[in-house]
Amino acid sequence: MRAFLAAVLLPAVLLPGTPIAAQSRVGVGVEFGYTRADLDGSDGKASQYRSGAVGGVFLELHLSRKIAITFGPSLAQKGGIAPVAGTQDSDLVIDLVTIDLPLFVRARLPLGTFALLLEAGGVPGFRIGCNLELQQGNVPSSRLPCNDPTLVPVGTFAPWDIAVAGGVGVGIPVAGSEVGLKLRGARGFIPVIESRDIYNRSFSIILTLPF
């Protein structure tokens, strides 16, 4: 019943001329931050975190003073570091770069001067970079693209991913606007390597700057 009511009422909320639509407004902003990425799943349990970055732009549709929907492209570094079995001090770095298209529902809850920021949604994305790098003592010794023929036994790397993500943070008033500082977690559901139980996972500290 709730799903039926949502399907009936949502179009009315978004149609021009309705009270909520009249109050809504569109904003834009940028966000960037630091990411710790690793690989989840039974085939990725031994992986370690690798540092990276995330950054992008977004459109924000304000449905009310407290609720907004955001969408926009972002560039993210993902992957992980896995120890090489049978060796000492040797690691295999899976270096992934993706363009993501996160779609979030965001809530802003006033707390006096500051505000509590909450977000949740889905993050489809497609891979634009993929390399495997062998390191010995944290020093790179070789690097191959994921489509190199010699990597056929490893498996085929998926060209896209779909993740769920959520975040919590604080809104800080600055010069008539509000800067957001958030902690965001995301977990993919498309295997990084086809037919293997291994998925992208990341935790990010993100600074949001609306215009």
Tens-of-pLDDT digits for all 211 residues of the chain?
A: 444 334 433 444 444 444 433 344 899 999 999 999 999 998 877 788 999 999 999 999 999 989 999 999 999 999 998 887 667 778 888 999 999 999 999 999 999 999 999 999 999 999 999 999 988 877 777 899 999 998 888 889 999 999 999 999 999 999 878 999 999 999 999 999 988 899 999 999 999 998 8
The two tokens of residue 155 are 């498996």
Cα–Cα distance between 68 and 21 in angstroms, integer?
12
**Whole-structure pTM value:** 0.80
Which has the closest alpha carbon to 189: 166, 149, 158?
158
pLDDT value of residue 119:
98
pLDDT value of residue 211:
81
The domain ranges of the chain are 25-210
Q: Kindly give, in sequence order, each residue whose CB lies less than 8 Å from that of residue 205, ignoring residues fewer than 6 positions away.
A: 33, 34, 181, 182, 183
Tell me whether residue 26 is exposed, middle or buried, using C-beta atoms within 10 angstroms of its C-beta: 0 to 12, 13 to 18, 19 or more.
Answer: exposed
pLDDT value of residue 92:
86
Query: CATH fold of 25-210, please?
Result: Porin (2.40.160)
Which has the closest alpha carbon to 133: 86, 80, 203?
80
